[in-house]
Chain A
Amino acid sequence: MIKEPELEIHPQNFIEENKKREHKYNLYKAILLDIFFVFYSILVVQRAIYYKFFLDLRELPFSWNEIILLFIISVIIGASWAISRTSLSCKLFGIAKENKTTKWSVEIFAWFLFDITFIAGWVVTKISIVGLFSSEGLQGAERLFSALFHPQFGIFDDALFAMIETIYIALIATLISIPPTLLISFFTARNLMKENKITFAVYYVLRIILNFVRSIEPLIWAIIFSVWVGIGPFAGMIALLVHTIASNAKLYSEAIESIEEGPVEAISATGANKVQVVWHAVVPQIVLPFLSFTIYRWDINVRMATIIGLVGGGGIGTMLMQYQGLARWREVGLIILMIAFVVWVMDYISAKIREAIY
């Protein structure tokens, strides 16, 4: 008898084949994760808990040989544990054996991981209740607080000028940011750029650049620009500008992405060209959110401008840093008071304006 030729892939076989493959991948993943868990536990227990906490060593001994040895031990323990299908990772990937051994080992190991992480965190943070309530420390704090609450008004006019400088730095950074942000936001809006491959590539690259720029804090930008253009308000302004463009371009483009499609469809159906569609269907829908974001950003920038001053970005922050360095706490008290007042006023004004335009 001639056997019938096998037809393609039988769906049942196909599904089972897939299941098997998935099972295998999950096992690999579980092995890797278990090795990591064991290696992590050994290192934490040895270095943070034993060396730092029990032996109270200042400098931890380090040698590659030791690390490699510990890693090899972890590989052996982790892999065999995962292959026995009773480990935490097996449970996580859903390939563990359902029995008592698994239950116990998973539960105990999970608690163990949590506990050693918490203890290690405590040790690394150098938490010290004694330090918080030592009489010497309390006296110092008292001295400082009493100075802060008796501000020195002799430097009021200097501080006022520095404060105004800070507000202007924030304002100029916000204003200059608007045109480039607008331009960039249209190129980083998915719904406008997805149509063909070239525009989508532009969208993608711009997004990556923006994410990168945004992930660097304005403080770091200020350090970079204070080297580039010299310490002073200009460096602070550029630092804020760069960060404002990157952050607001994201907010703006999200506003563009969330517009209603209907009006866009309607305007393009009239035979309007691309520019007209953007101007008459997209822009009217995003004007208010844009305005609101920009005003809010000015508010944020005033706060950031004071911080940026600490690293040489000019304005009230730089002044604060100088008096703090001289330990003249009464002057510092006045400056802090002024910063708090201005931030509060800005917060109030920007909230009111944003309420009014909606």
Chain B
Amino acid sequence: MLLKVKNLHKIYKSGTHALKGVSFEVEEGEFLVVIGLSGSGKSTLLRCINRLIEPTSGIVEFQGKDITHIKGEELRLAKMKIGMVFQQFNLIKRKSVLSNVINGKLGSLGTFESILEKYSDDVYQEAYRCLDTVGITDKAKIRADALSGGQQQRVAIARSLMQNPKLLLADEPVASLDPATSNSVMQYFEKINKDLGTTVICNLHFLSLVRRYATRVIALRAGEIIYEGAPRDIDENWFKTIYGEEAEEVEIR
């Protein structure tokens, strides 16, 4: 078992009860997709897993170890094994693609070394390998903000690959992209999942993407898991339960 989440609660200072006792398990090699409306707690859930947000109560167990309360060096080591990709890509716009990718390695580089930005050849080679995985080696020297949205997201994926992650979290990675680009970006996640064996947990909106890429689905509504199962089992009724009565499914190809 790679990840175990037990009875996770998150109450924000504003009083919002974002997660209300979420529990699930993730096996190694799975492609788990989390669906649900905006505000259902998907982003909070992912951020609680890698501790960008501190859960209020509950347990997150990663590789058999409770990481809910670890601090300092231990927490950094855990974070290094968990990659993350964001909806807004979150690249450093003014820096080159290459240095953005190398940023993924910061955890295992010395502070001094990383401030001077004098890296060894190994680091550069690794960065190029990661860029190769997402197919944009030719853009390495270009400023990150000169790329299109889809390309920026691929750079962000390469950055997370630099960590050699055991687990890759993706928070609505294609929500700011057009349908065609969405599919191509999702294919890179699939490739990483299948070829490198990296476990993926991904927040998604479009059911057609969910059916195509997920090996398992959990659905959140108002901070609670209301569905857990195979993607093909989500029928019309389940869809209405998850997204509300008025919702209609939109195809994305």
Contacts and interface: CB of A to CB of B under 8 A. Distances in A.
A267 B106 contact: yes
A280 B114 contact: yes
Contacts of A281: 92
19 contacts: A262-B86, A262-B90, A266-B84, A266-B103, A266-B156, A269-B79, A270-B84, A270-B105, A270-B107, A271-B107, A272-B103, A275-B111, A276-B111, A276-B115, A280-B103, A281-B92, A284-B93, A284-B94, A285-B94
B65 to A, nearest CB: 15
Nearest to A288: B94
A292 interface: no
Contacts of A279: 114-115
A241 to B, nearest CB: 27
A270 B52 contact: no
A276 B106 contact: yes
B11 interface: no
Interface string A256-289: 0000101101111111110110011100110110
A287 B92 CA distance: 12
A276 B84 contact: no
Which range contains the number of B residues in contact with the other chain?
20 to 34
A270 B92 CA distance: 14
B131 to A, nearest CB: 16
A280 B92 contact: yes
A5 to B, nearest CB: 31
A55 to B, nearest CB: 63
B4 interface: no
B120 to A, nearest CB: 17
Given A276-B111, A279-B115, A280-B114, A265 B106 contact: no
Interface in A304-326: none
In the A-B complex, list the 5 residue pairs whose CB atoms are closest, starting with the nearest.
A271-B107, A271-B80, A272-B106, A271-B79, A266-B90
B156 to A, nearest CB: 7
Given A279-B115, A284-B92, A267 B76 contact: no
Interface of B: 50, 52, 76-80, 82-84, 86, 88-95, 103-109, 111, 114-115, 156, 159-160, 162-163
A330 B84 CA distance: 71
Given A266-B156, A267-B103, A267-B106, A273 B90 contact: no
A265 B159 CA distance: 13
A275 B110 CA distance: 11
Given A275-B115, A279-B115, A270 B106 contact: yes
A265 B160 CA distance: 13
A287 to B, nearest CB: 8
Given A276-B111, A276-B114, A279-B115, A271 B106 contact: yes
Contacts of A263: 90-92
Contact of B79 (A260, A270, A285): A270
Contacts of B163: 270-271
Contact of A266 (B86, B111, B114): B86
Contact of A272 (B86, B88, B93, B107): B107
Nearest to B84: A269
Interface centre among A262, A268, A272, A288, by most chain B C-beta atoms within 10 angstroms, is A272
Interface string A144-157: 00000000000000
A268 B52 contact: yes
Given A266-B90, A268-B52, A280-B106, A273 B76 contact: yes
Nearest to B114: A276
Nearest to B85: A266
Nearest to B50: A269
B86 A265 contact: yes
A212 to B, nearest CB: 31
Contacts of A268: 52, 79
Contact of B95 (A270, A271, A276, A284): A284
Nearest to B106: A272
Given A280-B103, A284-B94, A269 B52 contact: yes
Contacts of B103: 266-267, 270, 272, 280
Contacts of A271: 76-80, 106-108, 163
B85 to A, nearest CB: 9
A21 to B, nearest CB: 25
Nearest to A267: B103
B180 to A, nearest CB: 24
Given A273-B111, A276-B111, 6 more contacts: A262-B86, A266-B86, A270-B163, A271-B77, A280-B92, A287-B94
B49 to A, nearest CB: 10
A264 to B, nearest CB: 8
B228 to A, nearest CB: 26
A265 B90 contact: yes
A266 B93 CA distance: 13
B86 A270 contact: no
A217 to B, nearest CB: 37
A358 to B, nearest CB: 12
Contacts of B114: 272, 276, 279-280
Contact of B88 (A262, A273, A276): A262
A262 B106 CA distance: 17
A262 B93 CA distance: 11
